[in-house]
Structure 1
Amino acid sequence: MDIKDQGMSVHDEVIDKKPIYHDAVGTVHLVDGTDEIVLIPTPAPDPRDPLNLPQWRKWLVTITLGLFSITSVLITSGLGAILTDVQAYYDYDPRVSDLMTYPTLFMGVGNLIAMPLAMAVGRRPVFLASALVLVIGSIWCAASGSLGSHIAGRDILSMAAGQSEALCPLIIQEIHFLHERSSTLAWFSAIQSIGTAALLISSTYLTQSLGWKWWYGVFGIVNGLILALSFLFVPESRYDRPTDAFEGAVHIHQLGGDDRIERATTHHSVVLDLVRYKPRTLKNDLQIFHGSTDWRAFVTCWKQMIQCFLFPNILWVVLMNSTVLGIYVVMVTEYAGILVQPPYNFAFTTLGYVQTGQIAVALIMIPVLGYGGDFLTRKLAERKGGMSESENRLIPLIIPVIIVIGSCVFFGRAGSDPEAWSPWTIIVTYSAEYFGFISIVLLGYTYSLDSYPERAGPILVLICAVRGFISFGISYGVTKFVAQLGYASALNVCAIVFGVVSAFGLPVFFFGKKIRSKTMRWAVDNKDLNVE
């Protein structure tokens, strides 16, 4: 929504040419006293501001987005659970592997197209269009009459499924405040992980009963229901704010009067203004398009993506995400082959139950890194006179970094010498690496969004698209990589590479504030808020 649509005007010139942030973007006053938390971003007195949605509605949005992400991840990445049936159907055509490798590439492509579009026309129309394409793509794959058509259908639906990685977290970020961001994103990730794992377990039984085409058919019907829920419950979350709203204190320049500062806390939130603003209504919520379309924002998003990629701290976050995903691709590609062979001899139908470990680690992540991360951020802010630094979000990274390195070492040794190791070594380390993966994704999101709140969209696209492209490249070379080096050596290489990338987090942590200060000129829009 444009500021002018709120009954406010904007000066042609910004009064102060210096950035509104007094120190560095991402350094904010979060805590007043001992128990009063500043609401960041500062909500407007507008009932249609998404930050003013009631808490139950915000949870309903988060759950709906989580359901969308479950089927998105399942249809694009879960085909491995029924791949043997698909291979047999196509007489073991080697091109069947394209059904597994290309979706990650097209998820990245989908992010690069959809996110700039969402910046131009709004989040709601792009999300609903993606949900619709996911339904159409599922039907396409179920009705495909050739392998080529099947591959094309999966590529199309993967472009839509990519919105579960970037657009969904962006919407969640835009309807929640900074102090609750980690926990809500953790819940979103947990819903995705638990739902996907449960459906992966059921996929083998569904395919055995109805055939692999009905695997697409059933989830196509489910996607149709999710589309209906999304239309009803996911509102537009785009809302144009002045820059200092992201600092927690809006400086309102009253033309012809004294300026004032508008702040809001958990104890003293903004009072909704029903005189100057329209109330939130069901009719308004159900509209597809809200506000004006700004095609310049489409180009600007691409420009900002390039700028943010050159920020040292964001580049490091992208590399961390890409490296841990690469390790997960290695493990998810190889764990089944290890378990079905002697001496473990797992039955094919029991492999799905290995995914129950992902349910367990998702439940662990919510209190430890979700609520725990928000709690740590508040407590550290209290110790520093209420000031919060975004680098505080990086402290919990110590846990997943240690877990991922340990998982690589033990997974590699068990794969190389299964006679000497229990199958539980493979199962536990595979699940532990998944914990590391989703934890690093969560902490990377929260750190980046806290550091550069006005660049949330471009940064999320960078993280998701780059790791998707890297995953696509790795998926082609995993088997050869492991065959040449052996499990132990291959996973040792993974551990060393990940350890080196992780070590660069130390200068990011200690010099992050200086980095944010130096890059602030490219990350702050300097929007003022002025009223008649």
Structure 2
Amino acid sequence: MPDHYTEDFKVPQTFTRTDSSNSQPSMRMARLEHVDTEGESLNHVGLLYKNGRIVLQPAPSADPKDPLNLPFWRKFVAIFTLCFFGAMAAAAELILGAMLPIFVLYYAGYDPKYIKVLSDSGGLPKGTDPLKTLSMLPDAPPIWHVYLLASLPVLMMGVANLFLVPLAIAVGRRSVTLATGVLAICGIIWAGFSKSLASHICGRCLQALGAGTVESLLPFIVQDMVFVHQRNTAISGVFAAQGVIIMTLGIGAPYIIIDLDWRWVYHITAIAASCFLVGVFFFVPETRWSRTKAAMRGELPPEAKERDPDMLRVPIDNMRYAPRTFRYDLALFHGNFDFRAGWDALYDTFRTFFYPHIFFVTMLNSAMIATAFAAGYVAAPALLTAPYSWPFLHLGFSLFSVLIASVFAYLITGPVADWIANAVAKKRGVRVAENQIFNLILPTLVGIIGAVIFGLAGSNQSKYPWPVFVTGLGFMAFGFLAANTVGAVYVLESYPQLAGPALVNIASFRCLIAFVLSFKVSEWVADMGYLKSFGMYAGIIGVFALLLPVVYIWGPAWRKRWPANWECRY
């Protein structure tokens, strides 16, 4: 390894090879003639610490247009904008859970505002099974059909992620993000003006196809802009921001429904999403950039070593490269399209999914997201039933637990997780992917505990007061948000040269599997009750949690057995 190191949290500037245009690195595969044996043994992961100081990985080039060379404030504003734009997707899912009883009434031919009268009179009688009562309303469609408004978009998000990242690899991150944002807004508007359940579901699915960016494309963009030792903090912000949006819209949704109409929830969401999308257009630059494996390990390129063997930092070269301009940042496309790279990424997605360490982490994430979404779908009916007897207008306050969960998820799987992973790396010299397994332990345990107490309280409302029920919801939200962050960082650090396909694995397949595990939760709760239903979810999480030690012990061997050592860079 070279003697290159930098100061903590400072951006080094290094020279790099560029194409003949001298302005934009080639988007084709970067080929190396030699790979050192030490890098091979570490699966192409370089030393994160050298002489007790952080080596920035990847090593930025000397080009001012390199996204790693963006000043801190630009990175902060870009990530902040992406966080709140992406949060609209998950917010729509969890907020809709509180609205589902409204849609059951609406599509059964009742005035949805009747639910306020019912809640003000004490709600459904004590001992009533709320979901079974809703399913028996005259002329009501099967309740699981109505609940497709929430569950089917999860499936669409999974499908969308399979193609969004390969497309972003082929044509660029920025253009795909903006296009999918427009698609999501169109879906929200469609849902808001829908005239039937089928049309409503179609609008929701279109929204989900566009909003699927939150699961893989947004973390993909974020990892393009930050260094390895900062990834937990940055990516956790993408998912933790969901709590703020969920809380804001969740509290307001019941008031909007009663004072205006349920359609206005969609109209307001569309307006907010449009504002965030404008922010994305102005503040999020293109981040597609080709790097060699040596640069991914934090190594200085040979040119820099030839100039000065003791060089620690190389300044940006404004003479050899064109400067970054506002016009450049606003351009929709940079460089040539590379659809072959997109196809390769799609192929690599399916190939890497079946690697055991990626498969186990993906399945654990699938169980966590399915449990959190399922709880969001069925929480409102229980809160509206005696003895809880929540007023309908107060339903949104149940999501306050999600806000608290998002704050803790950000802190624990963001700065704290980075500190833990970096501390371990400081002792062993490298930050390997298995460091992240430690960060999965707490979210997994909290998610299991949350599912159990949510099920206990939901089935025994007289014995367990509503704070226990809501706490269970918050615990599951914490597990879901935290596992999202850690899972994304794990796959990124497992295969840094295949960042896009690796993220698609955990983002896409977990949504597909989560749909299978949650789309009939209303029927399961109606038939089996809360305790058995969520005991089943806790058991599924527990099975995959038992495999965490296996992944920690055997993960390095599996990565060595199936390395990302083919000569490519997306």
TM-score by length of 2: 0.85
- Which structure 2 residues correspond to residues 315-334 of structure 1 after superposition, within 5 A? 315-334=359-378
> Hey, what's the Cα distance between the residues in 1 that align with 2:60 and 2:517?
43
Instruction: Tell me whether 1:504 sits opposite 2:547 in the alignment.
Output: yes
Q: Which moved more, 1:220-229 or 1:144-153?
A: 144-153
What is the percentage of aligned positions where both structures have the same residue?
32
Give the whole-Å Cα distance in 2 for the aligned partners of 1:204 and 1:244.
54
In structure 2, give the amino acid aligned to 1:47.
P
Q: Do residues 365 (structure 1) and 409 (structure 2) align?
A: yes
Given that residues 411 and 491 in structure 1 are in contact (C-alpha distance below 8 angstroms), is that contact kept between their aligned partners in structure 2? yes
2:155 to 105, 113, 116: 105
**Quick check: 1:39 aligned with 2:93?**
no
Moved more, 497-506 or 56-65: 497-506
Alignment pair present for 1:378 and 2:428: no
TM-fit CA distance, 1:351: 1.7
Deviation digits for residues 273-328 of structure 1 (CA, Å, limit 9, x no counterpart): 11211100001001000111001012111110012112111111111101112222
Instruction: Give the TM-score, by structure 1 length.
Output: 0.91
Name the CA distance, whole Å, in 1 between partners of 2:171 and 2:318: 26
Q: Is the 8 A contact 1:14 1:526 kept in 2?
A: no
Tell me the distance in 2 between the aligned counterparts of 1:12 and 1:465. Answer: 27
User: Which of residues 262, 287, 290 in structure 2 aligns to 1:237?
Assistant: 287
Pairing 1:183-222 to 2, within 5 Å after superposition: 183-222=233-272
Q: Residue deviations 1:51-72, cap 9 Å, x none?
A: 0001111111111111211222
* Cα distance between partner residues in 1 of 2:155 and 2:42: 36
Shift of 1:160: 0.2
Question: In the alignment, what sits opposite 2:336?
Answer: 292
The residue identity in structure 1 corresponding to 2:294 is D
1:26 touches 1:389 (CA, 8 Å); kept in 2?
A: no
* 1:346, distance to aligned residue in structure 2 (A): 1.6
Letter of the aligned partner of 1:143 in structure 2? F
Q: 1:172 to 1:499 in 2, by over 3 A?
A: same
SS at match of 2:520: helix
Listed as ranges, the matches of 1:5-84 within 5 Å are 5-6=21-22, 14-16=32-34, 21-25=39-43, 27-34=45-52, 36-84=53-101
Aligned counterpart in structure 1 of residue 319 of structure 2, from 275, 280, 298? 275
* Shift, 1:246, TM fit: 1.3
* Alpha-carbon distance change, 161 to 493 in structure 1, aligned in 2, over 3 angstroms: same
The CA distance in 2 between the partners of 1:261 and 1:389, in whole Å, is: 30
Which structure 1 residue ranges, 5 or more long, are not aligned?
Answer: 528-532
Return the match for 1:162 from 212, 223, 245.
Answer: 212
Q: Distance in 2 between matches of 1:241 and 1:324?
A: 34
Separation in structure 2 between the aligned mates of residue 226 and residue 13 of structure 1, nearest angstrom: 38
Partners of 1:526 and 1:169 in 2: CA distance: 20
Contact 1:26 1:450 in 2 (8 A): no
State the alpha-carbon separation in 1 of the partners of residues 271 and 252 from structure 2: 16
Mark the CA change 1:370 to 1:70 in structure 2 (over 3 Å): closer, same or farther. same
Pair 1:432-2:475 in alignment: yes
Partner of 1:249: 299
Give the conservation status (yes or no) of the 8 Å contact 1:198–1:355.
no
What one-letter code is carried by the residue in structure 2 that aligns with 1:25? N
Which moves more between the two structures, 480-489 or 470-479? 480-489
Q: Which amino acid aligns with 2:435?
A: N
Shift of 1:484: 4.3
1:453 corresponds to which letter in structure 2?
A: P
CA distance in 2, matches of 1:262, 1:362: 46
Q: Which deviations, in whole Å up to 9, do the C-alpha atoms of 1:13-43 show, x marking residues without a partner?
A: 7422778823222643111223x21110110
Q: How does 1:120-135 map to 2 (within 5 A)?
A: 120-135=170-185
Give the letter for the 1:417 counterpart. Answer: N
How far apart, CA to CA, are the structure 2 residues paired with 1:2 and 1:197?
47
In structure 2, C-alpha distance between the alignment counterparts of 1:210 and 1:304, rounded to whole Å: 48
Pairwise CA distance, 1:49: 0.2
Give the aligned residue type for 2:81.
Answer: T
CA contact (8 A) 1:400 1:440 kept: yes
Residue aligning to 2:349 = 305
Report the residue type matching 2:472 in the other structure: T
8 Å CA contact 2:178, 2:281 repeated in 1: yes
Q: After superposition, where does 1:350-361 map in structure 2 within 5 Å?
A: 350-361=394-405
> Match of 1:65, as an amino acid?
L
Separation in 2, partners of 1:55, 1:489: 49
Distance 1:387 1:74 in 2: 37
Contact 1:107 1:465 in 2 (8 A): yes
> Which of residues 447, 450, 453 is equivalent to 2:490?
447
Report deviation, 1:73.
2.5
Distance 1:447 1:13 in 2: 25
Once the 2 structures are TM-superposed, how far is the Cα of residue 344 of structure 1 from its aligned partner? 1.6
Deviation at 1:260, TM superposition (A): 7.9
- When the two chains are superposed, the root-mean-square deviation of aligned CA atoms in Å is 2.6
Asked if 1:314 is matched to 2:354, the reply is no
Is the deviation greater in 100-109 or in 114-123?
A: 100-109
1:128, distance to aligned residue in structure 2 (A)? 0.6
Question: For 1:261 and 1:373, how far apart are their aligned partners in 2?
Answer: 36
Aligned residues: 518
C-alpha contact 2:240 2:406 (8 A) present in aligned 1: yes
Aligned-pair distance for 1:6?
Answer: 4.0
Check the 8 A contact 2:370/2:515 in 1, yes or no. Answer: no
Q: Which amino acid aligns with 1:292?
A: N
Residue type of the alignment partner of 2:197: L
Once structures 1 and 2 are overlaid, which stretch shifts more, 118-127 or 411-420?
A: 411-420
- Specify whether residues 284 and 488 from structure 1 end up closer, same or farther in structure 2 by C-alpha distance, changes over 3 A only: same
Q: Give the one of 153, 158, 161 matched to 2:203.
A: 153
* Structure 1 residues 505 and 262, CA gap change in structure 2 (3 angstroms): farther
In 2 relative to 1, CA 485–11 (structure 1 residues): closer, same or farther, beyond 3 Å?
closer
Q: Deviations over 1:480-519 (max 9, x none)?
A: 3334444333333332322221111112111222222221
Give the counterpart letter for 1:350 in structure 2. Answer: H
The one-letter code matched in structure 2 to 1:340 is L
Partner secondary structure for residue 43 of structure 1: coil
CA offsets 1:415-460 (integer angstroms, 9 cap, x no match)? 2222222221111111011111111111111111112111111121
Write the distance in 2 (CA, Å) between the matches of 1:519 and 1:12: 20
8 Å CA contact 1:251–1:259 kept in 2: the answer is no
Equivalent position amino acid for 1:465 in 2: S
Q: Check conservation: 1:251, 1:260, Cα contact below 8 A.
A: no
Tell me the secondary structure at the aligned position of residue 342 of structure 1. coil
Cα deviations across residues 164-198 of structure 1 (Å, max 9, x unaligned)? 11111110111000011101112222212222222
Describe the shift of the 1:311–1:263 C-alpha distance in structure 2 as closer, same or farther (beyond 3 A): farther
Distance 1:117 1:376, change over 3 A: same
- Whichever residue aligns with residue 549 of structure 2, its letter is L
Distance in 2 (alpha carbons) for counterparts of 1:147 and 1:11: 47
Q: Which amino acid in 1 is paired with 2:458? A: G
Flag the 1:14–1:164 CA change in 2: closer, same or farther, 3 A.
closer
Q: Is the 8 Å Cα contact of residues 155 and 511 (structure 2) preserved in structure 1?
A: yes
In the alignment, is the contact (CA less than 8 A) between 2:94 and 2:377 conserved in 1?
no
Partner in structure 2 of residue 530 of structure 1: none
Residue 411 of structure 1 pairs with residue 428 of structure 2: no
